[in-house]
């Protein structure tokens, strides 16, 4: 009896010290198998009961069972302790400091050309114009022929062209949208047509793709004065209220007479500076009275109706408005440059 109880004390002492050293739940579970499992030390003690005198068996059995219970509860206690320590470690390591300032979400901003295009459209919409669009892949017929530039017309040289086939091209201007609008609607017409256009040019003031906004008004008694009044009003809105405009004679096959339109330099207000090369004026668009031939081709009688048209480059106006010296920066997608334009549309 005393031999067995000594053995049990030994096992208990061993279990206690090993469990105290175990810092992983896995080790504790190994101990459970080792001490209490089928081939564990206590189990083999129980098996040995048959070898001791029958009158001692109940006493020994009781001792062994008590030892089992006490080892089992030591194991549970140790596991609970390890679990609590693990939780405390996690709380310590994964603590979130809610008082730290947040990371902040970077907000995009509109591209300066988008801002300018939408501003141009807003101004003309407020003057009663509606917005129309046409295809970027255009026929020679609409891009040139309907704009009064038959094949071999020298004015075609003014607009270098990306041809897809001899009859299909990337439109070189938004003017063909004029013809498309006139084909499907009757006067009075008052439209602005924004869109991308393409020409094989690439330098500080030209890009192979750029945007234009075309304007067309057709009604009875439309004159060059209406063009001037409309553009002056738009320029005052787009730049500032002191802006003046002037017309210089020019040539476009689709307008007669044709003009080049200048605005007073928005930087020096006409005094002369680097931006306007000392002249006080900056050229912003081409315009004119719609050539009767263009009206006639669209089935509009030029003896009854007349019109004016204009076409402006969006990038060019953005460069003037924001003082951007090189057009290429508009296409480089440099966030440091683009993030400077935070205006809302």
Which SS3 state, helix, strand or coil, does residue 222 take?
coil
Q: Which of 175, 211, 243, 264 binds ligand DAH (CB under 6 A)?
A: 175
Count of residues engaged in binding ligand DAH, rule: CB under 6 A: 11
Give the full edge-to-edge strand order of the sheet including 168-170.
137-139, 168-170, 163-165
Q: How far is CA 68 from CA 45, 61, 64, 76, in A?
A: 11, 10, 6, 12
Give the range of 104-112, 149-157, 236-244, 281-289 binding ligand DAH by CB under 6 A: 281-289
* Among the listed residues 117, 106, 112, the one whose alpha carbon sits nearest the alpha carbon of residue 341: 112
Q: Which of 173, 180, 190, 316 binds ligand DAH (CB under 6 A)?
A: 173
Q: Minimal distance in Å, beta carbon 255 to ligand DAH? A: 4
* Among the listed residues 80, 291, 312, 101, the one whose alpha carbon sits nearest the alpha carbon of residue 194: 312
Q: Which of 286, 295, 306, 327 binds ligand DAH (CB under 6 A)?
A: 286
310 sits near ligand DAH (criterion: CB under 6 A): yes
276 sits near ligand DAH (criterion: CB under 6 A): no
40 vs 252, which CB is nearer to ligand DAH?
252
Tokens of 330: 């508009």
288 sits near ligand DAH (criterion: CB under 6 A): yes
**Whole-angstrom distance, CA of residue 35 vs CA of residue 312:** 91
Q: What stretches of the chain show up as alpha helix (H) in DSSP?
A: 2-21, 25-36, 41-47, 57-93, 112-126, 140-143, 176-184, 224-238, 292-297, 314-322, 335-338
Q: Which of residues 223-252 bind ligand DAH (CB under 6 A)?
A: 252
Q: Which of 255, 264, 298, 306 binds ligand DAH (CB under 6 A)?
A: 255
* Among the listed residues 255, 126, 249, 103, the one whose alpha carbon sits nearest the alpha carbon of residue 178: 255
Residue 165 DSSP class = E
Residue with the shortest CB distance to ligand DAH = 311
Give the range of 1-9, 38-46, 118-126, 280-288 binding ligand DAH by CB under 6 A: 280-288
195 vs 311, which CB is nearer to ligand DAH?
311
7 vs 153, which CB is nearer to ligand DAH?
153
Q: Minimal distance in Å, beta carbon 214 to ligand DAH? A: 5
262 sits near ligand DAH (criterion: CB under 6 A): no
Q: How many CB atoms lie within 10 A of CB 55?
A: 7
Q: Which of 41, 132, 138, 214 binds ligand DAH (CB under 6 A)?
A: 214
Give the range of 33-41, 90-98, 217-225, 303-311 binding ligand DAH by CB under 6 A: 303-311
Tokens of 105: 């979400």
Contacting positions for ligand DAH (CB under 6 A): 173, 175, 214, 252, 255, 286-288, 309-311
């Amino acid at each position: 009896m005393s031999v067995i109880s000594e053995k049990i004390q030994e096992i208990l002492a061993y279990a206690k010290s090993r469990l105290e050293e175990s810092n992983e739940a896995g080790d504790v579970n190994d101990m459970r198998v080792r001490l209490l499992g089928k081939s564990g030390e206590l189990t083999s003690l129980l098996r040995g009961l048959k070898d001791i005198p029958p009158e001692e068996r109940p006493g020994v059995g009781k001792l062994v069972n008590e030892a089992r219970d006490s080892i089992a509860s030591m194991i549970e206690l140790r596991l609970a302790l390890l679990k609590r320590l693990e939780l405390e470690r996690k709380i310590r390591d994964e603590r979130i400091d809610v008082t730290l300032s947040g990371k902040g979400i970077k907000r995009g901003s509109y591209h300066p050309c988008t801002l300018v295009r939408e501003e141009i459209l807003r101004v003309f919409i407020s003057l009663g114009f509606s917005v129309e669009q046409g295809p970027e892949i255009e026929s020679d017929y609409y891009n040139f022929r309907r704009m009064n530039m038959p094949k071999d017309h020298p004015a075609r040289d003014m607009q270098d062209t990306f041809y897809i086939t001899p009859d299909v091209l990337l439109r070189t201007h938004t003017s063909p949208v004029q013809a498309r609008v006139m084909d499907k609607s009757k006067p009075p017409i008052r439209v602005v047509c924004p869109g991308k256009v393409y020409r094989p040019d690439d330098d500080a003031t030209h890009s192979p793709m750029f945007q234009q906004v075309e304007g067309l008004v057709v009604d009875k008694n439309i004159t060059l004065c209406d063009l001037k009044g409309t553009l002056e009003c738009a320029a005052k809105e787009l730049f500032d209220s002191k802006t003046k405009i002037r017309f210089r004679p020019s040539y476009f096959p689709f307008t007669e007479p044709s003009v080049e339109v200048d605005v007073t330099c928005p930087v020096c207000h006409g005094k002369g500076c680097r931006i306007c090369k000392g002249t006080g004026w900056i050229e912003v668009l081409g315009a004119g009275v719609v050539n009767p031939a263009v009206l006639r081709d669209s089935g509009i009688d030029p003896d009854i109706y007349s019109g004016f048209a204009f076409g402006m480059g969006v990038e060019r106006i953005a460069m003037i408005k924001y003082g951007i010296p090189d057009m290429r920066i508009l296409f480089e997608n440099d966030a440091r440059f683009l993030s400077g334009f935070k205006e809302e549309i």
